[in-house]
Amino acid sequence: MSSAREPATPEQMIDNDRVRVTRWSFNPGAATGWHVHEYDYIVTPIIGSAVTIVDGEGRETAVEMVAGVSYFREAGVAHDVINAGPGPLVFVETELKEART
């Protein structure tokens, strides 16, 4: 299952032994495409937007990403993330590369 949408643009800013930090930029309608999170991660929106999350069963969930409002998710999450808003969506993803101690 893949998204025929315009892909979001990743820009990796930090990749060291502890974290990988990537800025993701979406035009309206763009999507990450299906992916599985390898690491626990934090998302920090920079420019917020309405977002549609599509899970493994194709179920769609509407969420709002708000600038400056971060959230934490655990490794294993699998989904497609679509910018459902009329404007750009930009968020920073911080992945925790070390196993949980």
Q: In the complex, which residues of this chain contact a second copy (CB under 8 A)? A: 13-14, 16-19, 21, 23, 40, 42, 44, 46, 67-72, 90, 92, 94, 96, 98-101
Contact 94, 37 (CB under 8 A): no
Q: Does residue 89 contact residue 51 with C-beta atoms inside 8 Å?
A: yes
Q: In terms of CB distance, is 60 or 98 closer to a second copy?
A: 98
> Which residue number, 2 or 101, has a Cβ lying nearer to a second copy?
101
The nearer residue to a second copy, 19 or 53, going by C-beta atoms, is 19
Minimum distance from residue 77 beta carbon to a second copy (Å): 15
Question: Looking at beta carbons only, is 61 or 70 nearer to a second copy?
Answer: 70
Give CA–CA dist 1/4, Å, rounded.
9
Beta carbon of residue 9, minimum distance to a second copy (angstroms, whole number):
12
For residue 19, what are the contacts with CB-CB under 8 A and spacing of at least 6? Answer: 94, 95, 96, 97
Min. distance of Cβ 26 from a second copy in angstroms?
A: 13
Q: Which helix (H) or strand (E) holds 65?
A: strand 60-65
Radius of gyration, CA atoms only, the chain = 13
